[in-house]
Amino acid sequence: MSNVRVTPWQDNDPVPADLLAAMQARRPGGELIGIDRVLLKSFPLATGWNALLGRVRANFSLELIYLELIMLRVAVLNNAEFEWGVHYPVYLNAGGTEEKALALKQAEPERSLFNEHEWTLLTLTDQSTKKVDVDSKVIESLKILFGETKTVEAVATVAAYNMVSRFLVALDI
């Protein structure tokens, strides 16, 4: 975090106890990571961010492996190295493979490595991240493969992690 463009929150800085506890509850061992410490520069932002991203990560019905696949691809497309570093081990622990993760780093990942579900999610992620507009055929394919609830969750995950990566990159976290 030596290049961060704002001074991160420090352990002795004031913070609402309930906010700090909620943020620590989302992290292994209760250890805040770099983005948490920058978010704590604005308590309203940290509160909303923690609630939204906590629900995306923990409460969506879309399987964790698919959520993490989306997050990794967004990280690559937006050059968010910190985001990659946080989500890469989670993706592997959720059942993803190193071969697929490395393929995500390519401008055009190797199609044959991914099943239909994964490829459709990657197509959604690429279209939404690169040009915002998503082809209606992609949404229809998602609905067939995942149902409407998981389709909405997939789109929301792409959007949420584009927000995360843009925040990380802008502030050099």
Q: At CB < 8 A and 24+ separation, what contacts does 36-39 make? A: 36/9, 37/1, 37/8, 37/9, 37/10, 38/4, 38/6, 38/8, 38/9, 38/167, 38/171, 38/173, 39/9
Tokens of 2: 């030596």
Tens of each residue's pLDDT in the chain, 173 residues: 568 999 999 999 999 999 999 999 999 999 999 999 999 999 999 999 999 999 999 999 999 999 999 999 999 999 999 999 999 999 999 999 999 999 999 999 999 999 999 999 999 999 999 999 999 999 999 999 999 999 999 999 999 999 999 999 999 99
Using one digit for the tens of pLDDT, what is the confidence trace for 113-163? 999 999 999 999 999 999 999 999 999 999 999 999 999 999 999 999 999
pTM recorded for the entire structure? 0.95
Q: Which residues contact 129 (CB under 8 A, 6 or more apart)?
A: 73, 74, 77, 78, 158, 162
CA distance 59 to 82: 23
Domains of the chain: 17-58 (no CATH), 64-170 (1.20.1290.10)
